[in-house]
Amino acid sequence: MNIIFRAYLISALLVALILGGGLLFLNSASAGDTAATSVTVSNATPSVTSVALNGGSAISLTENTTTSVSIAATITDTNNCDDVFTSGTITAVLFRSGVTASSGCSNDARNCYPSITMVEVGNSCNGSTDTSGDAVATSGVWYFADATDTSSTYPGNVWIVAVTATDGSSASASSTASVELNSLYALEMTGTLVYGSLAAGASSTADAVATSTNTGNFKIDNEISGTDMTASGFTLVATEQRYGTSSATHPNLTFQLTTSATARSLNVPVAVTSTNPTSTVGTFWRINIPNGSRTGAYTGTNTFTAIYSAD
């Protein structure tokens, strides 16, 4: 075999080896495959945290009206907070702890405020990966709602707010916060004590009526006092006025007016319903004009103050 032929043969073998290696490489790649992947993301139950009632402070009511009480909470859903804020609901129930079945207590201005809807704070739940947002609400609490402080009828109770977050798949969670609700002793007086025109030595024969309306959340008595009545330097002393809780002639009325505040057991009850929140007790007044009283238009002031009733 000549040298030229051998060189040619060697060259041909090298080419074959190179090409063969390439073919083997290509065959190896074409023998691969794919693997399908799958996973199911299940629904996560939301959570309620950082619940606050009235900013954590005791509730102090406002006489003869409602007081706005704040409720706040943070809502978290690891699927995305929109699962609650957009697709679900956030509600609250505000109630006195002694009321049973708190989550479903019946609407009662004295002790239960159900079905309070909470809304998102600003844009606190924002973005496709955001899991938490803040919710707030206010509830108007009536002035005669049950107090829970130490001087109240329910000193062992507190007022509780239960916040419930429910997502679009009906999964829900709740959390609570509580504060005291303070006693409120308050009244509003209606009626003007006008005794008319009387001669010296006479007593009034018609009742002048003053009505005490309980505008707080506890049964009250009245502390009553009055000034002497005066006209152009002349005086009718306060003790000439008498009063009671029922009509009677002047000398037979129960109480005599004094210039110093004197507690009278009137037992004005607390209102019980927001549809007609009025609870009143009337007092009936008459005056005696002593002999020797000088002519004139006499005026004075009688003062009524709400105080705790132990009866």
Interval 162-180: pLDDT, tens: 999 999 999 999 999 999 9
Residues 80 and 57 in one domain: yes
Residues 170 and 203 in one domain: no
Among residues 123, 152, 179, which one ends one of the domains?
A: 179
Cα–Cα distance list, 216 to 13, 65, 213, 304, 307 (Å): 111, 9, 9, 14, 10
- Domain containing 130 — which CATH number? 2.60.40
Residues 98 and 191 in one domain: no
Residues 128 and 67 in one domain: yes
Residues 58 and 87 in one domain: yes
Determine the pLDDT at residue 129: 86
Lowest mean pLDDT among 8-17, 157-166, 194-203, 235-244: 8-17
Residues 169 and 54 in one domain: yes
Enclosing domain of residue 229 = 187-308
Q: For 188-216, what is the mean pLDDT?
A: 95
Residues 161 and 243 in one domain: no
pLDDT range class, residue 275, cuts 50, 70, 90:
confident
pLDDT digits (tens, 9 = 90+) for 227-259: 999 999 999 999 999 999 999 999 999 999 999
Lowest mean pLDDT among 17-21, 92-96, 222-226: 17-21
Question: How many domains does the chain fold into?
Answer: 2
Could you tell me if residue 12 is inside a domain?
Answer: no
Residues 89 and 205 in one domain: no
Residues 160 and 219 in one domain: no
Residues 87 and 115 in one domain: yes
Q: Count Cβ atoms below 10 Å from residue 222 Cβ, excluding itself.
A: 24
Among residues 152, 179, 206, which one ends one of the domains?
A: 179
pLDDT digits (tens, 9 = 90+) for 121-153: 998 998 778 999 999 999 999 999 999 999 899
Q: In terms of Cα–Cα distance, which of 258, 175, 176, 184 is closest to 223? A: 258
Q: Is the pLDDT of residue 157 over 50?
A: yes
Residues 211 and 166 in one domain: no
Could you tell me if residue 291 is inside a domain?
Answer: yes
Among residues 179, 213, 248, which one ends one of the domains?
A: 179
Question: Angle CA(268)–CA(274)–CA(278) in degrees, nearest 5?
Answer: 30
Could you tell me if residue 136 is inside a domain?
Answer: yes
Amino acid at 228: D
